[in-house]
A and B are shown apart, each in its own frame.
Chain A
Amino acid sequence: MAVGADAQITDLTADDHACLTFGEPEELFDLTAAFVRDGLACGLKVVWVSDSAPQRATSELARRGIAVESALAAGQLAAAECEGRLLSGQEFDAGRAMEWLTRQMAACQQEGFPGLRVAVDMGWALRPVTGVEQLPDFEEGVAAALAGTAVSVLCQYDREGFDPVTLATVSAFHTRSVAAATYYADAMLRICRQYAPPGIRLAGEIDYRYTEPLALALTEAIRFEGDITVNMTALTFIDGSCARMIVDAARGLAASRAVALHCHPGIAATFVLLGAGDMAGVSLVSTHDR
């Protein structure tokens, strides 16, 4: 399969300085939600410095099953924008950014949390920001600060936006590289694992020629315990062969495991024809309901 040397987001541990590359916002939100979810579950404090407004960031987490309200209220979760943390007046200074991180680590300890997880979206570095050339210095500083601590940092890079040289330079300072497990990807179709909620995600158009990677993705999703989501919200066409494969996989699961099919009404109509609308444990969630 195509995971290659990349680690899974669910494998990260304390003092990891991980470099996440993503190709689209859906992937970023999914992987971040898994990072946040696993951190909260371990009782850690979690901070996400996102490139979008904090409210958007938390609503994306909530949409993926994170109990955002209670975690925010308990001070266990914080969502912030980069201005005032990594940036000051749209200016980046590696030293000041490191001071911010060090303060976060100290505050977390004072608040009594056993550890800290920080996710940082580096999207700001794609804009005309003064001092962006200090980005490698910051990454090097983070690597040094984390060794032997109970703090992990997930740096998030848009692989379409950043040039390969920058990505190669900064990735050298990370302990792991993280990406979504991808079973198939070309201009027309993308099949990858979804982490929060667990399942698979299909985008583009899929037909019988891609039943092999679809079968692999479904098999791996089924291998994990718990309910399964088949996220087809970005799928514009599915033919009978692939829809049947998904319905058969859902039918084959134990009754205790629910399968949620998220898709547009047009895609849902094909699943209704194949009987998915009346199957126990299978729910068809139209994206218009969201």
Chain B
Amino acid sequence: MTDEAPVETGSTTARGEPPVLDQAFDGDSLYPLRAAVAAHGSQAGLSEGRTRDLVLAVHELAANAVRHGAGQGRLRLWATPDGVRCEVSDDGADGDGPDAEAADAALWHVEPGHGLWLVRRIADGVSVQSDPSGTIAAVSFRLSAPGPTAPPRR
């Protein structure tokens, strides 16, 4: 397993296709968000373990948007021929200026054990695009990929 998942550029796999799930979220709606993602991951054919990984990855991105970004965001999920692709978008930190910049840095800072680090460890593809209007983080999970989930040993 590589330390970091390959980074995709753009959302080419998603272009043109309407998402099968398009859900707004804030700090109080992460539970229904996880439930919806689990249902769609399973429906798309991901294994139980990879569906759990997908739920964890989306939760971590959404939690980042809630805690360090605008406090709310939007999740879109596509079922692609080879798996699932999710985009978590966030309109950026409240207000402008240096605070917004600092919040943006906190949002995408990769620290071992923390949100984005975990996402990079479990997703098959991760991309982050940031501009003044906000940030879009995308993750993909392939149907055939074994992923890092393995049963623990005692």
Chains A and B are bound partners: yes
Interface residues of A (CB under 8 A from B): 188, 205, 207-209, 237, 239-241, 244, 247, 265-266, 268-275, 277, 283-286, 288-289
What string of 1s and 0s marks CB contacts (under 8 Å) between B11-36 and chain A? 00000000000000001001100100
Secondary structure call for the A interface: helix
Which residue of the partner chain A has the closest CB to B38?
A237
Tally of chain B residues near chain A (CB < 8 A): 27
Residue of A239, A247, A274 touching B60 (CB-CB under 8 A):
A239
Given known contacts A188-B31, A266-B49, A286 and B114 CB-to-CB distance under 8 angstroms: no
CA distance A269 to B57 in the complex (A): 13
Q: Which residues of A contact B52 (CB under 8 A)?
A: 266, 269
List 12 additional contacts besides A247-B113, A265-B49; criterion CB under 8 Å. Answer: A207-B30, A207-B59, A209-B27, A237-B55, A239-B56, A240-B60, A240-B114, A244-B114, A266-B49, A269-B53, A270-B56, A284-B154
A240 and B152 contact, CB distance less than 8 A? no
Q: Which of B49, B63, B121 contacts A239 (CB 8 A)?
A: B63
Give, as a whole number of angstroms, the nearest-CB distance from B143 to chain A.
18
Shortest C-beta distance, A279 to chain B (Å), equals: 13
A222 to B118, CA, bound (A): 27
Q: Does B95 contact A (CB under 8 A)?
A: no
Interface residues of B in 43-100 (CB under 8 A from A): 48-49, 52-53, 55-56, 59-60, 63, 67
> Can you name 16 A-B pairs with beta carbons within 8 Å?
A208-B63, A209-B27, A209-B30, A237-B59, A239-B59, A239-B63, A240-B113, A241-B63, A244-B114, A266-B48, A269-B49, A269-B152, A271-B152, A284-B152, A284-B154, A286-B154
Instruction: Give the nearest-CB partner of A272 in chain B.
Output: B152
Which residue from A237, A271, A283 sits with its C-beta under 8 Å from B154? A283
Residue of A nearest to B59 (CB): A239
Q: How far is the CA of A272 from the CA of B149 in the complex (A)?
A: 9
Which residues in A have their C-beta under 8 angstroms from that of B154?
Answer: 283-286, 289
